[in-house]
Each structure stands twice: as structure tokens, then as C-alpha cells.
Structure 1
Amino acid sequence: MNKVRVLLIDDDEDDYVITRDVFSRITMADKYELTWADTFEKGINAVLKHQYDIYLVDYRLGKYTGVDLVNEAVLSGVKEPIIILTGKGDYKIDEEAMNVGAADYLVKDKIDPDTLDRSLRYALKQSDALKALKESENKFKIIFDKAKDPILISDYTGKIHDINKAGLEFFGYHIKEMMLLNDRALFFTQDDRENFIQELETKGAVSDFECQMVSSKGEVYFCSLSSFLQIDPSNMVEIYHTIIHNLTHRKHQETKFIHESKFSISEHIAKGFAEEIRNPLSTINLVLYDLSTDEALAYNESLQQNLEIIKGNVDEINQLTKNFIASTENKPISAQKVNINQLIEEALAEVSDLVIGHRINLEKHLLPTEVYLSLDKKQVKKAIVNLLKNAVEGMQSYPKVLSVSAINDSGYYSIFIEDNGVGVKPATEHQIFEPFFTTKKDAEGLGLTEAERTILAHKGSITFKPQEVGSLFVISLPIN
């Protein structure tokens, strides 16, 4: 069995002799090996070099005190336990010693073999436990710092206790800025934050809680949160450990796949529908031609007027069929580098007469910096114009407000077009991008379908978000 190396740091030789005698009377005294240092300087030198397993330090050491030695040792990262010895019981000295990091406090004239042995064993076990805890903390810290996913440590009030490097990069904050924030600033909507906290407080843990989070630059991310609740023993408060998974790319891919599948089906139906309707339309046109050129009927004005009405409706059906097919076809993209802010301004200029004519209050909040995207200018502008017209036509009562804004959204340039019109009924929300669906009089119901087709062809997405009043459409186009 290895002996426990003990160093007594005491400038009084008589105290050393007395302490050595106490050691000799400890049961199994041979497990300890006692050494003596008679000055503060010798003692602190041995402590800083980690030469012994445990230290007994007299409170009085010339112009220094044992507390001075403990304080210097702790500041230098010394992990071996230090026990303070004093000539008389003093609660203030006891409290001072324990506050700076001493393992124990013993009064010399009350030390007996059992008391000394017990104090040494306790201090060594406590030191081993602290070392194991520190190693565990260091391992956690390494995992915490090196994790690729953001990890946030916060509490119920929203106070942020810590965040790893990946989290700082994800949200775009410096650590000092982050520690001054409330975690509410990281959630895109406060409803998400409240629902997350409620579920966590109720269950103690949350897995795959989906929400939107926002960076320092206003970038919005689709995220999945996995979190568990723990009591911090030092502060006795509940702490949330939250791992943040960025699902933005996956969400865009899922949306893209759903819409591409839908368009593939629509295109197939459109072509089949066109083939089925063209034959009877051709037959009707032939009959109309025969009737309109029949000499016996040439002077029947009433009949000729009715024939013109039928022909006009046939032409309208034929044009509607062509528009339907066009809205489901993949159009070739002629991509070029385009200033997206300028493009939005041009689209607004195209509907300016409508905005002015309907006495609409236009609110515009575009990004102050110029952003250039690779896109087909003509097609994308038409898609934005379609959405703007849709917003204008959806407003019926005053005051009418049209809001157009933009953000840099996790690698996507997102355009928000919002109105305070009649909105869309929840039961029909899923139909708004479908061909021929419309809630407006004398509208084909193909504008939104074509707009969606165009944005998806540019590897972007277009989404509808119902509001308490009116509607919000979001166009997201990839920046790179």
C-alpha cells in the first residue's frame, strides 16, 4: 500500500514534535509519511510543485497566515487538500479558511489521533471526489465546446448561462453579447418559446420540438430542440440544457419535393385535360363555322348573334385551357445576376396604379444592403407582381395596408408580402396554390399556381401564412 505523504508547514518545532507524536499513535500509523517545512516559503514551494498528497498548515506563519497559503495554492490550481491548524478555536478563522478553499480546520490542543486520522481521510476522499467531478466537467466541457450542433444552457426566466462555439456561430453573436441577451430573443415567435417552456416544465424533457429561431442578423431557421431540465446544485435553480438541430435545409428540401410531386401530377392532369377538351371544342368550332357560313341562315340576325356568343365562350374555354397548361409547364430559366431590391421596386412600380387607385397605404422595409441573386428576372418579377395583385384584390375595407419587407433568412433571401384583407378561410388554405382555385370574382385562379411554379424552378419556396387579419406570403430565394 502506498503511503500518504503529509507535509506539516509550521514555524514552531515544538508543534512539529507534538504533531509527529499524534501521528505515531494513529491506528495503522505506517500508512502516513510525515514531513516538516518550517517556513511559509518552503511550504508554498512544495505545495506549488505538488510534492505531497495532503498539507497541514499552521495559521500563524511569520508575516503570513495559512489562509494566505491556501489562497495562493487555489489560485495556482493546486488540487491537493490543505487543512488549517490553529492554536485556539475561532469561528472567524474557520469561516475564512473554508471560504478560500481549505479542506478542513483543526484546533491544535483538541487534536487527537482519531480526530486527525478522520480529518485526513475525509479531506483525501473529498479531494478525490472533486478531482473526479472536475474530470467529468472537463469531459463535458470538451464535448460541449466541440459539438457541431448549438448547445444552449438557460433557465425559466430566459437568462443564458452558457452557449457553445457552434451556438455562437449559429446565432451570430459574440459570447459577451449572448450573455446579455434573454433567450426569448432567439425565438422567432414568443408562442414557440412559451410552448417549449410549458412542455419542458411539464415533462422535464423535450425531444424534437420544432420551432423557428432567429439570428443576430434576422436570419430565420427551422429548428428542432431537444432539451432536459436539471437542478444546478451551486445556485439551486432549474437549468435547461438544449441542443438545437438546424432543419432549414431539410425543410426546404421536403417542401420542394412535395411541390414538385404536386406539379408533376398537375402537369399530367393538365395535358390529359387539354387532349380531352380540344376534340369537342374543335367539333363545336366546325359546327359554328358551318352554321355561320350557311347561306340559308346568313340573314338570321338573332341566330348569328347567338353563334357569336357561343364562339366567344368557346375561345375563352380554349384560352383558359392554354393558360392552365402554361401554369403547369416547366419554363426554361434564363438566369442572370439581378439586384433583388431593384427587382422588387420594379414589381411595385408595375402595380403602383392599382395601389394608388385603391388608396392603399404601402409599407416597405427592404434590406439596406444590395443583394444580387442568380435568377430569371422576367419570371420572378411576374411572380412577385401576381402576389402583389393578389394582396391588393384581397383588401375590401379601409384602411388598406400592404406591407412588403425582406430578410436574409439562413442563406435565403425572403420576401414578405402581407395585407390586411379578408384572408383565406382555414378550410381552404391547402388549396390556394391549386390551379383554378380563387375566392375572387372574375379571376382565373392561375396566378398563384404560376408564381409557385416559378419560385420552385429557382430552387426556392413560396409559403402562405394565415394571419389574424389578412394574409402573408413568403417567397424565399437561395442567395448562393
Structure 2
Amino acid sequence: MNKVRVLLIDDDEDDFIITREIFSRISQADRYELTWIDTFEKGINAVLKRQYDIYLVDYRLGKHTGVDLVNEAVLSGIREPIIILTGKGDYKIDEEAMNVGAADYLVKDKIEPDTLDRSLRYALKQSETLSALKESEHKFKIIFDKAKEPILISDYTGRIRDINKAGLNFFGYHIKEILETNDRSLFYTQEDRENFIQELETKGAVSDFECQMVSSKGQVYYCSLSSFLQIDPQNMVEVYHTIIHDLTYRKHQETKFIHESKFSISEHIAKGFVEEIRNPLSTINLVLHELTSDDALAYNETLQNNLDIIKTNVDNINQLTKNFITSTETKPVQKQKTGINALIEEAIVEINDLILGHRIILEKHLLPSETYLLIDAKQIKIALVNLLNNAIESMESYPKILNISTINDSGMYSILIEDNGKGIDPELEHQIFEPFFTTKKEAEGLGLTNAERSILAHNGRLIFKPQQHGSLFVVQLPIH
């Protein structure tokens, strides 16, 4: 068995002799190897070089104290235990020694072999435990800091205790800002936060809890949370360790696939429906041609007028079917570098008569610097005009306020179109992007569908967010 190397740092040789004698009377005394140094300077040098397993340090060391030595050792990252010795019992010295990191405190004239042995063994064991804990914390800290997914440490009250670099980037905060932020502000809805906490408190751990979270700039993410509850031994409080998985891209792809399938089905239905209409229309046109060509009926003015009416309406139906087919067809995207602010202004100009006619209060909060996106300007402009028209038509009472703002966040350029109109019935929210769905009279129900189709074709997103008064549509386009 390796001997425990003990260094006594004491400027009084008599104290060394007494200490050596006490060591000799310890049961299994041969397990210790005692060395003596008589000055603070030599002592701190030995401590910093980590030449011994444990240190006994006299409180009085000339112009220095043993507490000074402990303090310097701790600041230098020394892990070996240090026990303070003094000639008299003094609670203030005891408290001072323990506060700076001493392993124990012994009064010289009360030291007995068994007391000393127990103090040494306890200090060494405690040191081993602390070293293992620090090593574990160090490994955890490396994993915590290097993890690519956000990791959040918080408590029941919502206080954020720590977050890794990936989390700061994800939510768009600086470390000082987020530590002053309650985790409630990271959840898009408080209902999600309450359900998450309830499940975690009930089960002690949560896996794949899906919810929406929001960045400092208002960017909403679809997330899956995996979390476990742990007692913080230092503060004796429950803390939550939460790993945040970003599902936004996956959700976007799923939504895109679902809507593209709907577009494909609606296109197929529309073509079949139009074919069914064209056949009887062709027959009607043929009969009309024969009737108008009949010389016996040429001078029947009433009949000729009625035939003209029928012919005009047949032509209108033909044109409507062509428009119907065009509205459901997937149009090729012809991308070019386009200034988005300029495009928004063009869309506003196109609906300017409606703005003036309805006495709309237009509020614009566009980012001051122009951002250029790779888009089909014509398609995106039509989508914006459709959204702006919908916003204007939804406002019934004054003051009518239309707000257009932009955000550049997380690789996406967001255009926010908000109105203070009547909003959308919550029971109908899931249908608003459905082809041919509308709550308006004499409307095809394809405005929002086509807007979403165009935006999805650009790998973007069209998001509806109900407001307390009115509606908010967010157009998100990727920044290349």
C-alpha cells in the first residue's frame, strides 16, 4: 500500500516534534510519511508543485497565515486537501478557513492520534469524492458546451440557470440576457409550458414533448423536448435539464408534402370537372351554330337576341373553366435576384386604391437595408397582393389598421401582414389553405391556396397566427 505523504508547514520546530510524536501513536502509523517545512514561501511552493497528498498548515506563518496559503492554493486549482492548525479554538478562524476551502480545522492542544487520523482520512476521502465530482462536471461541461442541440437548465419558477452555446444561437440571446429571462418567454404558448412542467413534475422525466418555442426576434420553431428532473446539491432545489430538438424543417417538409398532395388532387379534380363541363358546352355551341345558320330563323329578332345571350354565357363559362384550370396548375418558378423591400412596395401600390377607398391606416415597419432574395418576383408579388386584399376585406369597423413589417432571422426573411379585422373562426382555421374553401360571397376560394403554393415552391412557409383582434399572416422566404 502506498504511503500517504503528509507535509507539515509550521515555523515552530517544537510543534513539528509534537506532531511527529502524535503520528507515531496513530494505529497503523506506517501508512503515513510526515515531512516538515518551516516557512510560508517553501510551503506554498511545495503545494503548487503538488508534491504531497495532504497538508497540515499552521495558522500563524510569520507575516502570513495558513488561510492565505489555502486561498492561494485554491485559486491555483490545487485539489489536495489542506487542514488548518492553530494554538487555540477560535470560531472565526474556523469559519474563515472553511470558507476559503480548507478541508478541516484542528486545535493543536486538543489533537489526539485518533482525532488526527480520522481528520486525515476524512479529508482524503472528501478530496477523492470532490475530484471525481469535478471530473464528472468537467466532462458534462464539455458535452454541454459542445452539443449541437440546445440544452437548457431551468427550475420550476422559470428561472434559467444555464444554457449552452447552441441554445444561445437557437434563441438569439446573449448569455447575460437569457439568464435574466424567464423560460416562460421561450414557449410560444403558456399552455405548452404548463403541460410540460406538469408532465415533468409528475413523471420526473419527459421524452419527445412536442411544442412551439419562440426566439428573441419572434421566430417560432416546432420543437421536441426531452427533459429530466434533478436536485441541485449545492442549492437544494429541483432543476430541469432539457434538450431541445428542432423539428421545424421536418414539420415544414411534412406540411409541404401534404399541401403539394392537395394541390395535385385539386388540379386533377379541376381538370376532370372542366372536361365534364366542356362536353355539354360543345354540344350547346353546335346547336347554337345550327340555329344561327338557319335562314328560316334569321329574321326572328327575339330568338336571335336569346341566342346571343346564350352564346355570351357559354363563352363566359368557357373562360371561367380556363381560369379555373389555370388557377389550379402548378406554375414553374423562374427565380431571379430581387429586392424584397421594392417588391413589397410594388404590391402596396397595386392595392393603393383599395387602401384609399376603405380609408385604411397603413403602418409599415420594413427593415431599412434592402435584402435581395432569389425568387420569382411575379409569383411572390401576386401572393402578397392576395394576402393584402384578404386583410383589407376582413376589416369592417373603423379604425381599419393594416400593418406590414419584416424580420430577418435564422436564415429566413419574414414578411408579416397583420390586420385588426374580424379574424377567422377558430373552427375554420385548419381549412383556410384548403383549395376552394372560402367564407366570402362570389369568391373562388383559391387566393390563400395559390399564395401558399407559390411560397412553398420557393421552399418558404406561409403561417397563419390568430390575434386577439384580427389576423396575422407570416410569409417566410429563405435567404440565399
Alignment size in residue pairs: 480
User: Do the aligned residues in 1 keep the contact of 2:104 with 2:119 (CA within 8 Å)?
Assistant: yes
Q: Secondary structure at the match of 2:428?
A: helix
Aligned position for 1:261: 261
Distance 1:452 1:313, change over 3 A: farther
Aligned position for 2:454: 454
1:191 CA displacement: 5.3
1:203 CA displacement: 4.3
C-alpha separation in 1, matches of 2:315 and 2:201: 64
Distance 1:210 1:383, change over 3 A: same
Distance 1:405 1:389, change over 3 A: same
* Structure 1 residues without counterparts, runs of 5 or longer: none
C-alpha separation in 1, matches of 2:265 and 2:409: 30
Deviates more, 1:85-94 or 1:308-317: 308-317
Structure 2 length as normaliser, TM-score?
A: 0.93
Q: What letter corresponds to residue 382 of structure 2 in structure 1? A: K
Identical counterparts, % of pairs: 80
Aligned position for 2:328: 328
Q: Secondary structure at the match of 1:221?
A: strand
Distance 1:474 1:269, change over 3 A: same
Distance 1:237 1:404, change over 3 A: same
Q: What letter corresponds to residue 351 of structure 1 in structure 2? A: I
Pairing 1:275-314 to 2, within 5 Å after superposition: 275-314=275-314
User: Do the aligned residues in 2 keep the contact of 1:324 with 1:435 (CA within 8 Å)?
Assistant: no
Aligned position for 1:167: 167
User: Do the aligned residues in 2 keep the contact of 1:221 with 1:410 (CA within 8 Å)?
Assistant: no
Aligned position for 2:404: 404
1:214 CA displacement: 4.0
C-alpha separation in 2, matches of 1:344 and 1:201: 48
User: Do the aligned residues in 2 keep the contact of 1:212 with 1:220 (CA within 8 Å)?
Assistant: yes
Aligned position for 2:24: 24
C-alpha separation in 1, matches of 2:282 and 2:320: 15
Aligned position for 2:227: 227
Aligned position for 1:381: 381
Aligned position for 1:475: 475
User: Do the aligned residues in 2 keep the contact of 1:208 with 1:226 (CA within 8 Å)?
Assistant: yes
Show CA shifts across 1:248-288 (max 9, x none). Answer: 22222222111111112122222222222211111122223
C-alpha separation in 1, matches of 2:123 and 2:141: 26
Show CA shifts across 1:166-213 (max 9, x none). Answer: 223333444344444444454455555455445444544333333444
User: Do the aligned residues in 2 keep the contact of 1:337 with 1:374 (CA within 8 Å)?
Assistant: yes
Aligned position for 1:57: 57
C-alpha separation in 2, matches of 1:394 and 1:152: 41
1:390 CA displacement: 1.7
1:119 CA displacement: 0.7
C-alpha separation in 2, matches of 1:12 and 1:148: 57
Aligned position for 2:353: 353
Deviates more, 1:100-109 or 1:455-464: 455-464
1:298 CA displacement: 4.2
Q: Secondary structure at the match of 1:238?
A: strand
1:237 CA displacement: 3.1
C-alpha separation in 2, matches of 1:26 and 1:447: 92
User: Do the aligned residues in 2 keep the contact of 1:461 with 1:477 (CA within 8 Å)?
Assistant: yes
Task: Find out whether 1:271 has 2:271 as its counterpart.
Answer: yes
C-alpha separation in 2, matches of 1:362 and 1:198: 43
Structure 1 length as normaliser, TM-score?
A: 0.93
Distance 1:291 1:472, change over 3 A: farther
Aligned position for 2:104: 104
* Structure 2 residues without counterparts, runs of 5 or longer: none
Distance 1:434 1:59, change over 3 A: closer
C-alpha separation in 2, matches of 1:228 and 1:418: 39
Q: Secondary structure at the match of 1:210?
A: strand
Deviates more, 1:258-267 or 1:405-414: 405-414
Q: Secondary structure at the match of 2:468?
A: coil
User: Do the aligned residues in 2 keep the contact of 1:156 with 1:238 (CA within 8 Å)?
Assistant: yes
Pairing 1:144-223 to 2, within 5 Å after superposition: 144-188=144-188, 192-223=192-223
Q: What letter corresponds to residue 252 of structure 1 in structure 2? A: H
1:338 CA displacement: 0.7
Distance 1:63 1:430, change over 3 A: closer
User: Do the aligned residues in 1 keep the contact of 2:263 with 2:435 (CA within 8 Å)?
Assistant: no
User: Do the aligned residues in 2 keep the contact of 1:327 with 1:449 (CA within 8 Å)?
Assistant: no
Q: What letter corresponds to residue 13 of structure 1 in structure 2? A: E
C-alpha separation in 1, matches of 2:265 and 2:55: 81
Distance 1:465 1:68, change over 3 A: closer
1:303 CA displacement: 4.1
1:438 CA displacement: 1.9
Aligned position for 2:424: 424
Aligned position for 1:93: 93
1:128 CA displacement: 0.5
